[in-house]
A and B are shown apart, each in its own frame.
Chain A
Amino acid sequence: MTKKKIYSLDKNYSADIFFKRPDKYKEIEIVSSKFDNIITMGSCNSYTPASFRKNALSIQLTKFNRIIEFDKNQKLITVEAGIILSDLFNFTLARGLWVPQIPGYPTITIGGAVASNSHGKSCGFHGTIKKQIKRIKIFHKLHGWLNLSNEENRDIFDLTIGGLGLTGSIVEVQLRLEELSGNNFVTKIIETDSSNDAVKKINFDVKKETYCYSWNRSDSFKNFGKGFVFQNELNVSSDNKLTKNIKLNNSDINKNFIINFWNKYSVFFAQSIYQNYFKFFKSKQHEESFQKAIFPFIGKEFYFKLFGKKGFLESQIIVPFDKTEVFIDEVETIFKKHEPLITLYSLKNFKGDQKNLRFENDGICFTFDFVKNSKNLFFMNELDKICEKYHLTPSIIKDSRLKLETIEKCYKDFNRFKEEINKFDNKRIYKSTLTDKLMI
């Protein structure tokens, strides 16, 4: 069995693990039978250590990447869970169909997206991927092969979506596809002068199918929240089939430079250039390719690399609409006091019901990326307190630093989820470093 040292994308966790990438169904059963601690791995693109654990077996399912069934009339597709988003979309988009709730990087697998209950740029309109999942097939070392759906093993189906791989290996997923009404986007750029202004402009019409997010400055208190809202709408005048394949960049997102390039000056410099480019050089309404709008990180992997060996931290928090003003107020207060080094600040709309460990709720999703230093860690702890105080929803899959205490306070179902997992997997075979932290 291969041993390997592996890192989370944010570089805050690493572990020596046993690693296997089976390519036959029988092999999944055989390798699972040999270990008492297992976790399934997709592309290991998670910021957090969600798909590995010290001395446990990570079964990587990327060789299970085929299409099993496709019904164009019923708009249903069954795929193996290791298929990466670009491969799936290169097939479906050519037929005018897709899944809108997909995360913003093309090498992420469908299994990873299901296990983290992913959302896309239009989560205010489409919600999370849960809505598209009709059926799942898992392999569990104790229970064998199980079909999960609303009709069969409903409870386990519910635990598996957003269940961080704790119910076993997801091997097949049947997805409902949505029609695409164009093959590119018309992007409107709207200037914002504060965080509250960005919230207002992002939340302009949730009934419309827009792919909306903001980019806000975070380099100083004076500039905090200034920036743009990007409203991407499908260009209905274009053909509804994508003719160009999504191309992967050869750059490995998990590799980084040795030193950190982000500091007060480089953040100020980068954000000023970015803002002025969009203000003065980019037309306020322009066409954008599907790839650029949906997978904005393709070609920008260097952003992660610039954090160097020490890595970074991300905090993503859903704030209900009626609490956004007070949240922004509190954040601005602690920002002024602690002057954290935030490299990225962005907002998007969100829709959903919070259940189990799923990252969803109705509200605005705030994202902050931090350089890893003690000042920022202190600031993030203050953010946790705000989350606990207002019962906000912080993302577990994005923030590797998030404490159990905060999760318990913010996820009302946390203890019930833990109990149900313990009941289903009474030997607690499927575990990761992340779920160890959550004591599940």
Chain B
Amino acid sequence: MSNLIIGASSGLGREIAYEFARNSKNLILISRNLKDLEILKSDLEIKFKIEVNVFQLDFSNLNEVSKFILDNTKVLEKIEGVLFPIGMMKENDNVKNSNDDLISIFSANFYSINFFISHILNIFEEKKGGFIVGFGSISGAIGREINVSYSSAKRALENYFESLIISNLKNHIKVQFYILGYLDTNLSFGKKLLLPKGSPVNLAKIVYKNLNKKGVKKFFPFWWIFIDMAIKILPFSITKKIIKFFN
């Protein structure tokens, strides 16, 4: 049995791979960068004596994802669970996006994940078990000027995972969803941020610890829950004024 990590070559995905390896779990790693995956595979196999398989796959291309699923049914039937520490941003993602950008951003952050899970659910239902872990973003809490499509896709993903949790309350499939604030990864490297960054190593530990829990939805770092609550409690007419004030 193996655990599938999509978006494993860097950032949170890489840390999750190490956490699973430390716990002697075999892995299947997927990302766009084969070279990085191969190096990660060597390191994990040498240090932890586990079995690691890697696949190059671009989640921003739904056709590629669909082909991968068709070509690898045997591989997917053997997985214990799947994690999606994946996120794709583009420069100049604002309210006026091109068709190509919209398709790739929505595919990587929502469609492909949704599509992949739809397929995996059949396998897990047959096996009567399995886990699915998704990662949203606090950017999806409210509309914004930058990363517009990214945050919209993340909001859609949150909604989808809530549905996933609700739909699987009565079976053995375990679903977790984490809404991420600032994480100390390459994306936030060197940026001056208003709040401290969370450690991806710590998050990877939490994810692993919670694998057996049913229907988890959490914020990481935890204090983002208060910001999210404030955003949701305040009427939009006031939020709008606050944003205008800070701009």
Query: Please, which residue of chain A has its CB at the minimum distance from the CB of B42?
Result: A68
A379 within 8 A of B: no
A67 CA to B10 CA in the complex, in Å?
16
- Of the residues B10, B14, B47, B191, contact of A2 by C-beta under 8 Å: B191
Query: Please, which residue of chain B has its CB at the minimum distance from the CB of A65?
Result: B43
Complex contacts, B35 vs chain A, CB 8 Å: 25-26
Within 8 A of A (CB), among B42-82: 42-43, 46-47
Task: Tell me the smallest distance from the CB of A419 to a CB of chain B, in Å.
Answer: 34
B180 within 8 A of A: no
Complex contacts, B190 vs chain A, CB 8 Å: 2, 4, 19, 21
Interface centre among A21, A68, A69 (most CB of B within 10 A): A68
- Of the residues B33, B42, B43, B189, contact of A24 by C-beta under 8 Å: B33
A428 within 8 A of B: no
- How many residue pairs between the two chains, A and B, have CB atoms under 8 Å in the bound complex? 44
Complex contacts, A352 vs chain B, CB 8 Å: none
B16 within 8 A of A: no
Q: Are A26 and B39 interface neighbours, CB within 8 A?
A: no
Q: Are A68 and B14 interface neighbours, CB within 8 A?
A: no
Q: Are A24 and B47 interface neighbours, CB within 8 A?
A: no
Task: Tell me the smallest distance from the CB of A20 to a CB of chain B, in Å.
Answer: 8
Task: Tell me the smallest distance from the CB of B43 to a CB of chain A, in Å.
Answer: 4
Q: Are A26 and B33 interface neighbours, CB within 8 A?
A: yes
Task: Tell me the smallest distance from the CB of B70 to a CB of chain A, in Å.
Answer: 27
Complex contacts, A63 vs chain B, CB 8 Å: 10, 186
A67 CA to B21 CA in the complex, in Å?
15
A257 within 8 A of B: no
Task: Tell me the smallest distance from the CB of B62 to a CB of chain A, in Å.
Answer: 22
Q: Are A25 and B33 interface neighbours, CB within 8 A?
A: yes
A23 within 8 A of B: yes
- Of the residues A20, A21, A66, contact of B40 by C-beta under 8 Å: A66
- Of the residues B42, B186, B189, B191, contact of A66 by C-beta under 8 Å: B42
Number of interface residues of A (CB under 8 A): 18
Task: Tell me the smallest distance from the CB of B39 to a CB of chain A, in Å.
Answer: 5
- Of the residues B33, B39, B47, B191, contact of A80 by C-beta under 8 Å: B39
Within 8 A of B (CB), among A3-56: 4, 19-26
Query: Please, which residue of chain A has its CB at the minimum distance from the CB of B189?
Result: A21
A221 within 8 A of B: no
A390 within 8 A of B: no
Task: Tell me the smallest distance from the CB of B6 to a CB of chain A, in Å.
Answer: 16
Q: Are A24 and B46 interface neighbours, CB within 8 A?
A: no
Q: Are B46 and A70 interface neighbours, CB within 8 A?
A: yes
Task: Tell me the smallest distance from the CB of B45 to a CB of chain A, in Å.
Answer: 9
A66 CA to B35 CA in the complex, in Å?
13
Complex contacts, B125 vs chain A, CB 8 Å: none
Query: Please, which residue of chain B has its CB at the minimum distance from the CB of A172?
Result: B39
Q: Are B43 and A23 interface neighbours, CB within 8 A?
A: no
A395 CA to B10 CA in the complex, in Å?
38
Complex contacts, A26 vs chain B, CB 8 Å: 33, 35
A91 within 8 A of B: yes
B9 within 8 A of A: yes
Within 8 A of A (CB), among B102-157: none
Complex contacts, A4 vs chain B, CB 8 Å: 190
Q: Are A67 and B43 interface neighbours, CB within 8 A?
A: yes
Complex contacts, A22 vs chain B, CB 8 Å: 186
Query: Please, which residue of chain A has its CB at the minimum distance from the CB of B14?
Result: A23
A4 CA to B47 CA in the complex, in Å?
35
Against A, the Cβ 8 Å flags (1 = close, 0 = not) of B205-227 are 00000000000000000000000
Q: Are B39 and A66 interface neighbours, CB within 8 A?
A: yes
Task: Tell me the smallest distance from the CB of B170 to a CB of chain A, in Å.
Answer: 41
A68 CA to B186 CA in the complex, in Å?
22
Q: Are A23 and B46 interface neighbours, CB within 8 A?
A: no
Q: Are B39 and A68 interface neighbours, CB within 8 A?
A: yes
A363 CA to B186 CA in the complex, in Å?
45
B11 within 8 A of A: yes
Q: Are A69 and B42 interface neighbours, CB within 8 A?
A: yes
- Of the residues A19, A21, A91, contact of B47 by C-beta under 8 Å: A91
A and B contact pairs by CB, cutoff 8 A, 20 listed = A2-B190, A2-B191, A22-B186, A23-B10, A23-B11, A23-B14, A23-B36, A23-B186, A24-B10, A24-B33, A24-B36, A25-B35, A25-B39, A63-B10, A63-B186, A67-B43, A68-B42, A69-B42, A69-B46, A91-B46
B positions within 8 Å CB-CB of A: 9-11, 14, 33, 35-36, 39-40, 42-43, 46-47, 186, 189-191
* 10 more A-B residue pairs beyond the given contacts A20-B189, A24-B10, A25-B33, with a C-beta to C-beta distance below 8 A: A22-B186, A23-B11, A23-B36, A23-B186, A24-B9, A24-B36, A25-B36, A66-B40, A68-B43, A91-B47
Q: Which 6 A-B pairs have the closest CB atoms?
A: A2-B190, A66-B43, A23-B10, A25-B35, A67-B46, A68-B42
